[in-house]
Chain A
Amino acid sequence: MNSLELQSKGLYEQYEQSAIDALDVVDAEPLDEKAVQPDEVLYAASQWQLMWRKFRRNRVAFLGGVIILIYYVCALAPGFFAPYPADEYLLHGELINQAPQRIRLMDDGRFMPHIYKIAPEEKPEPEETETPQFTFTPGRVDLEEPEAFEPGLVVDETQPVPIKFFARGYDYNVLGLFETDIHLFQPADPEAPIYFMGTDDASRDMFSRIIHGAQISLSIGLIGVVFSLVFGTVLGIASGYYGGVVDDLIQRLIELVRSFPTIPLWMALFNALPPHMPMLRKYFLITLILSLIGWTWLARQLRGKVLSLRNEEFVTAAKLAGASDFRIIFRHLLPATFSHIVVVSTLALPAMILAETALSYLGLGLQPPTVSWGVLLNEAGINAVTIYPWQFAVPAISVAIAILAFNFLGDGLRDASDPYSL
């Protein structure tokens, strides 16, 4: 080694040491500052807090969430929101196929929501009160027929009937917990029916039926998703974590389930249910059948997620610290996939609701007198689209709004679910 080299080596060392000293200071400073900064709230914020921060900023998703919340509140206590029981025949069964009633908000310049009383004519002819028989020839519908009012019913516009809020009406039960008769709104005169979404061909209030139907339609989605979640999470995580033969078996099972054509499979399964089975049991079996097909989605997604997580170094670190499989799965893998599970289930709910609706519409699912949105669509029948459009539109629109809201919510959650991708 020549002297120049030696000299330069010494200089380099000095430089190196001074650089290290300088950096020690630089690194230490921000640590001290951060301790007193309000950022501590952000630095110690959990994943859920960060998700919430991000989600709140997404207005469409937030709106979706609010709508879903309203729907589910209605589904929890339909008696409170529906002015009538699901099978109440208005005006003793004479208010058939009525178009939506107009709700007037102002009376003599004052704010007073009210309706007008509708009643049969003084001398009703028995023939006239029955549903007129329409002759339906495909491709031709007689639009000249009166639609809004059946012959024999007259609206009394002289006496406004105010709508009372939080008024007493029929008795109902809230989730089997307590009985009450308080309703969100009721017409002041019990003889004056309120039907602002029209009535069906058996003179029942569409709005009340939609609210009561929501209970079944929305909960079938929820329960179905819970079943799917259990199957999908267990099988998906097992498949991804253990790999090998377990993975192969589960993946082939998923392919098998997925390759069945769904509608014929459903038909076969529903036909296998005994026809006089109690409705509640049938309802649970239907959700189970729906989720037997729905779980594959989640299982696939979770498998992929776990496959990538399994090789993350923090999982290796836990393994090398001596953690059991159980601990690794529940402390490291499941929390990491949790936001994913929430998103997938939010997006799976509408599919479940649609499936129930489709099945009931086809007459394969629930049947009257049970009320669900699918049953309502099925009851509306094919004529309804052109002649009594509200009978079809009301359930269809409420399904559509629920689906859209779920999708908005799910998209928002998905965007918010990875708060570390800042």
Chain B
Amino acid sequence: MSDNKQSILLDVRNLKKFFPIQRGLLRQTVGYVKAVDGVSFFVRDGETLGLVGESGCGKTTTGRTILRAIDATDGEVWFRQGENMINVAELSRRQLKPLRREMQIIFQDPFSSLNPRMTVMDIVSEPLSIHGMAKGKQLKDQVCELLEAVGLKSQHMNRYPYAFSGGQRQRIGIARALALRPRLIVADEPVSALDVSIQAQVINLLEDLQAEFGLTYLFIAHDLSVVEHISDRVAVMYLGAIVELATSTELYKNPLHPYTEALLSAVPKDEPGQTRERILLEGDVPSPSNPPPGCKFHPRCRYVEDICRTAVPEWRELGDDHWVACHRAEELQLRGIQTT
């Protein structure tokens, strides 16, 4: 587990990303999809922060906004460079280029994330050539090293992606992300598209690489059991905002937010006979273009009170490194699950 005194690598403050909804011939903006609506968290150097939530809660958008694949509507993304913190969100494209070497991404879909018309060599070497970090034989040697680091055979580098299986393709994607020797890797559901059997391999590979290259992960997933395995701390997202953040053991054992409790109750049980109350959330996730007032979770919360319908809960720290946004966090006794 990470130490509190470790330096902060990434500090996200009040990040917002709204997508305009346009209608009609003249493309009038009639509203906004608030995909990310005021997200704040930090990631310490060398740790893994898990980011979980349902489909459409804004996890992926958060990751991509941090990396500037899409530009934020508002908010700050501070990234440490040596002694200084740099606000990535306000850099120009030219200023951004050197920073791209520090932050990379692993994609969910191992099929659409590799250009089918390029060989593995071309794919993995592209970041290196863009930054002019290697040429000719040196480039080839580096690609060989990277492929071997992710468990692929270097003699396969002249193959095209279609010659590989899903798990192998994901390894190619990981090799590409590693090519620039980044410090931060945003892993955007890196195992969700893989067979359960391959998931464990890729997760183990990611852990090995973290130790080998001193990586920091922002690990996005919708599956708490996957996140538990790899994360030091876990943030739970609901409808564009983080509702709870704690170390993974703490979060699993002692959830403070009713949404986290409901998610935990859906984690598969270890044994068929085991009994645990399954909390079924009623209704659908509200539309992010028209989120409910007050606490966004209140229409589906079983502990709802009047205050939840009107006041937005404060994001506060309860206990050691345990953050939550819930009015009733102190009084509720929520059920967690036992973890390993």
A interface with B by C-beta (< 8 Å)? 1, 4-5, 8-9, 12-13, 16, 19-20, 23-24, 27, 31-32, 34-35, 39-40, 42-47, 312-314, 316-323, 327, 331-332, 335-336, 420, 422
Contact = CB atoms under 8 A, between A and B. Distances in A.
Given A5-B271, A313-B112, A322-B131, A23 B198 contact: yes
Lowest 8 A-B CB distances belong to which pairs? A43-B163, A321-B127, A313-B113, A322-B100, A8-B271, A314-B115, A43-B159, A44-B158
Interface string B76-96: 000000000000000000001
B4 interface: no
A1 to B, nearest CB: 5
Interface string B109-135: 100111111110001001100110000
B137 to A, nearest CB: 20
Contact of B117 (A31, A32, A42, A335): A335
Given A5-B270, A9-B340, A314-B113, A19 B131 contact: no
B200 A16 contact: yes
A317 B158 CA distance: 20
Contacts of A5: 270-271, 274, 338
Given A1-B338, A16-B200, A24-B201, A316 B158 contact: no
B135 to A, nearest CB: 16
A4 B130 contact: no
A313 B160 contact: no
B278 interface: no
Nearest to A39: B163
A321 B175 CA distance: 13
Contact of B201 (A20, A32, A43, A319): A20
B38 interface: no
Contacts of A422: 162
Contact of A19 (B68, B123, B158, B200): B200
A16 B225 CA distance: 13
A27 B270 contact: no
Interface residue SS majority, chain A: helix
A43 B165 CA distance: 12
B238 interface: no
Given A20-B200, A313-B112, A317-B105, 9 more contacts: A12-B271, A47-B116, A313-B109, A321-B176, A322-B127, A322-B130, A322-B131, A323-B126, A323-B130
A206 B155 CA distance: 61
Interface centre among B118, B123, B131, B204 (most CB of A within 10 A): B118
A404 B160 CA distance: 35
Interface residues of B, number: 54
A313 B107 contact: yes
Given A314-B113, A321-B126, A420-B116, A27 B69 contact: no
A24 B205 CA distance: 11
A274 to B, nearest CB: 43
Interface in B233-251: none
A320 B338 contact: no
A35 B69 contact: no
Interface in B258-284: 270-271, 273-274
A47 B117 contact: yes
Contacts of B173: 317
A23 B201 contact: yes
B302 interface: no
Interface centre among A20, A327, A336 (most CB of B within 10 A): A20
A105 B122 CA distance: 59
B316 interface: no
Contacts of B165: 27
B172 to A, nearest CB: 11
Contact of B130 (A8, A12, A27, A321): A321
Contacts of A16: 200
A322 B100 CA distance: 6
Contacts of B214: none
Nearest to A244: B27
Contacts of A420: 116, 162
Interface centre among A4, A43, A313 (most CB of B within 10 A): A313
A318 B180 CA distance: 12
Contacts of A320: 67-69, 100, 103-105
A287 to B, nearest CB: 32
A19 B195 CA distance: 13
Interface in B192-247: 197-198, 200-201, 204
Contacts of A314: 112-115, 123
A314 B118 CA distance: 11
6 contacts: A27-B198, A43-B162, A44-B158, A46-B160, A321-B127, A336-B115
A130 to B, nearest CB: 66
Nearest to B204: A20
B176 A317 contact: yes
Contacts of B197: 19, 23
B156 A35 contact: yes
A16 B162 CA distance: 29
Interface string B52-72: 000000000000100111000
Contact of A44 (B97, B119, B200): B119
Nearest to A24: B201
Contacts of B114: 314
Contacts of B160: 43-47
A46 B198 CA distance: 28
A318 B126 contact: yes
Interface string B147-173: 000001101101110110101100001
B117 A336 contact: yes
Nearest to B157: A44
A9 B270 contact: yes
B56 to A, nearest CB: 17
Given A8-B274, A9-B340, A35 B155 contact: yes
A303 to B, nearest CB: 17
Contacts of B118: 331
B309 interface: no
Nearest to A40: B159
B69 A316 contact: yes
A26 to B, nearest CB: 8
A317 B130 contact: no
Interface centre among B115, B131, B340 (most CB of A within 10 A): B115
Contacts of B327: none
Contacts of B153: 31-32, 35
B328 to A, nearest CB: 27
